[in-house]
């Protein structure tokens, strides 16, 4: 992604969904000078150590959610790396900050939102200790796939954020 932003010539907006949200935030930690904004769907920035909450989930939690063939093998890589702590070489791992403007679109019925401690972490604003310029949009009745469930609304939220934060 870093090479793409250099080739394009300017700051980029990074959009991530689910495990891709972690990629988006990691890119912003490593390359803050290249990021104009971050949009994530269903997963906020995870504070150090928060990844361990997945240990409280029942065995096979992810595999049961995606029973279709082809999902087991691809899921092994992000699932196994879920507990890894990734920090920027430019920042103290205990004081990580995302400087770019950010938007989190969260379905209120999203199973990730119901992970132990997740709803409190987001609603209390604790997540903003790490992402101070975070705007959070809650979609009532939204599930983990809000972009499929409410495509027009999600697209409009994304466009509004992009237009508001372009340089």
Number of independent structural domains in the chain: 1
Q: What percent of the chain has a predicted confidence (pLDDT) above 90?
A: 53
pLDDT of residue 82: 46
pTM of the full structure: 0.75
The domain that holds 129 is classified in CATH as 3.40.50.1820
Long-range contacts of 52-61 (CB under 8 A, 24+ apart): 52/83, 53/115, 53/116, 53/117, 53/118, 54/82, 54/83, 54/115, 55/83, 56/115, 56/116, 57/115
Q: In what order do the strands lie in the sheet with 134-139?
A: 12-17, 35-41, 102-107, 134-139
End-to-end CA, the chain? 20
Q: Domain of 28?
A: 2-165
pLDDT tens string 11-29: 899 999 988 998 999 899 8
């Amino acid at each position: 992604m870093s090479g793409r932003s250099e080739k394009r010539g300017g700051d980029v907006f990074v959009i991530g969904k689910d495990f891709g949200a972690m990629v988006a935030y990691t890119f912003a930690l490593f390359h803050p000078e290249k990021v104009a904004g971050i949009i994530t769907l269903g997963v906020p920035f995870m504070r150090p150590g928060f990844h361990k909450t997945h240990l409280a989930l029942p065995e096979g939690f992810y595999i049961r959610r995606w029973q279709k063939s082809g999902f087991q093998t691809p899921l092994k890589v992000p699932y196994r790396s879920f507990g890894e702590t990734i920090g920027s070489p430019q920042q103290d791992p205990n004081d990580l900050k995302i400087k770019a403007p950010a938007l989190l679109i969260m379905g209120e019925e999203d199973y990730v939102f119901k992970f132990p401690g997740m709803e409190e972490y987001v609603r209390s604003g604790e997540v903003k200790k790490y992402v101070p310029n975070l705007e959070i949009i809650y979609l009532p009745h939204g599930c983990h796939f809000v972009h499929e469930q409410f495509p027009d609304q999600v697209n409009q939220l994304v466009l509004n954020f992009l237009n508001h934060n372009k340089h």
